[in-house]
Amino acid sequence: MTVTSTQGELLRDLLDGSRDGILALDENGVVIYANDAAAKLLERAKLQVIGKPFAVFLPLERRRAFRRALTILDPGASASVGLRNGTDTEDSIAVIRRIEQGSPPRFAVRLAVPADTEHVRAADVEPPSRRAISRELDAFFLRFPRAVVGIDRTLKVVFANPRARNILGRDLIRIGRPFVDGAAEGRLRALAERLTTIAAPVPASLVELRDGRRLRVTGVAASGREPAVMLFDDVTEEVRHEEVTRDFLRNAAHQLRTPLTGIATAVQVLQSGAKDDAEDRDRFLSHIERHTARLSRIARGLLVLARAQSGETVRVEFVELEPLLRELTSEARPAEGVTLAVVCEPGISALSDRDLLHEAIAALIDNAVEHTHEGRIDVAVAEAEGRVTVEVRDTGPGILPEHRDRLFEPFYRPSASGHGFGLGLAIAAQAIEAMHGQLAVEGADPGTRFTIRLPSARVIA
């Protein structure tokens, strides 16, 4: 917009009438305009201000900061500098702003007391350099609770905090080197390329690394000379927990549906006329009884898991093991030709919750029965140094070492088509943990050996 002579005079009158000191500087910092208030604050006549470098009105220790401000200020940006030295009472500051348009650059300066500008005390304030800003960012992101990587437009790393190096590895994250150079982690590099070429943030994305870890990645796009910023969280355990929970719910529903379908089918057949035939009636009632027992075991197992995972306090008592093991083995139905034997001295007891211990040992015996098609199953009890050990050993096909760490996950399956372990082992693990005992698994030759360890006691007649 062109300013006419009349408009210029009006603007000059308005500026002269302002209570704030206002000056205009050229690209060299020479005063080309000053109003009356500015001259008064500088304690000079207006004619003694105009035409002089503004730096001459500043203390010697502030002039360098002022000259630096003129060279680094972007259009529209501002900086402040004190008008008094460190020994005098500071009653005013100069706020320097670069005019957004125009070449060569022009600057406006406002002189006012700190209270008028709502600035913090401005003595020794120097416009921050990029190096100073970088130091401040480094100090902040070093304490930042997430992994952070800064990437410039050439896809080189300009910043990385220790968390980022721990997650991605020092070989992939090096200052001044390409971000995840090569094809090591292509998905991450693709996200980095997007952040440095498209002016839009990256929404939260889940990235799986080659070693199986899962990262949740978000990012802020590069802007001007500012680098793109990528933030990482290692959510491997969180994702795994979600997958286990999802599998648990799906498989628990499947486990419940099987006996319920069997019961419903048997009732339907009985109502259709089978109840009038004694042989058919007894057969279908036995069928209902078997499925009801299975349904009860599943429900009891789910309750054990819920009780253990809720942190409910377990009340322990003396549980004599020999009668308990005899009861459990008498209910087991091993395959034809498989021997099931118990070795336990009378009187040996464990300090435990009877229901939890019952479910734990029952789950181990059921697992051994299910996977042992020939040979034998041995349940043995030993006592030493105030601990009692219950060992369940079978001669089944055994469990590969890579699967042993996950055996106690509910419904864990070694492969997509492989036979799973249901709820039993998860129930056993949770029950023993709730009683502050230990449950271990190891390979035997042949077969598998599960071992429960609990505090012991001996019942004396």
pLDDT single digits (tens) 30-52: 998 888 888 888 888 888 899 99
The number of domains in the chain is: 4
Query: Which residue did the predictor score with more confidence, 410 or 38?
Result: 38
Amino acid at 445: D
Sheet with 214-220, strands from edge to edge, namely: 157-160, 147-151, 228-234, 214-220, 202-208
- Chain-centroid distance of CA 129 in Å reads 34
**Same-domain check for residues 437 and 415:** yes
Rounded Cα gap, residues 388 and 365, in angstroms = 18
Whether 122 maps to a domain, the answer reads no
Q: Mean pLDDT throughout 71-89?
A: 68
Residues 6+ away with beta carbon under 8 Å from 320: 347, 348, 349, 459
Which of 309, 327, 355 lies at the terminal end of a domain, its last residue? 309
Task: Write out pLDDT tens, residues 294-310.
Answer: 788 777 767 766 766 66
Helices (H), 198-343: 236-271, 278-309, 321-331
**Same-domain check for residues 244 and 365:** no
Task: Write out pLDDT tens, residues 434-461.
Answer: 888 999 988 877 889 999 999 987 655 5
Whether 190 maps to a domain, the answer reads yes
**Same-domain check for residues 321 and 219:** no
Claim: this prediction has a pTM higher than 0.85: no
- Cα pseudo-dihedral 424, 427, 428, 434, rounded to 10: 180
What separation in angstroms does the CA of 13 have from each of 6, 27, 191, 249? 11, 24, 56, 79
Rounded Cα gap, residues 291 and 274, in angstroms = 18
What separation in angstroms does the CA of 191 have from each of 138, 149, 169, 219, 392? 23, 12, 18, 8, 51
- Coarse DSSP helix, strand, coil percentages of the chain, rounded to the nearest 5 percent: 40, 25, 35
Task: Count other C-beta atoms under 10 Å from residue 37's C-beta.
Answer: 20
Which residues share a beta bridge with 342?
A: 379
Range of the domain at 62: 5-117
Whether 427 maps to a domain, the answer reads yes
Query: How would residue 102 be classed by pLDDT, with cut points 50, 70 and 90?
Result: low
Confidence at residue 92, expressed as pLDDT on a 0 to 100 scale: 66
Which of 248, 282, 309 lies at the terminal end of a domain, its last residue? 309
Confidence at residue 453, expressed as pLDDT on a 0 to 100 scale: 95
Whether 434 maps to a domain, the answer reads yes
- Chain-centroid distance of CA 111 in Å reads 50
Which of 309, 344, 360 lies at the terminal end of a domain, its last residue? 309
Angle subtended by helix axes 354-371 and 424-434, to nearest 10: 150
**Same-domain check for residues 277 and 396:** no
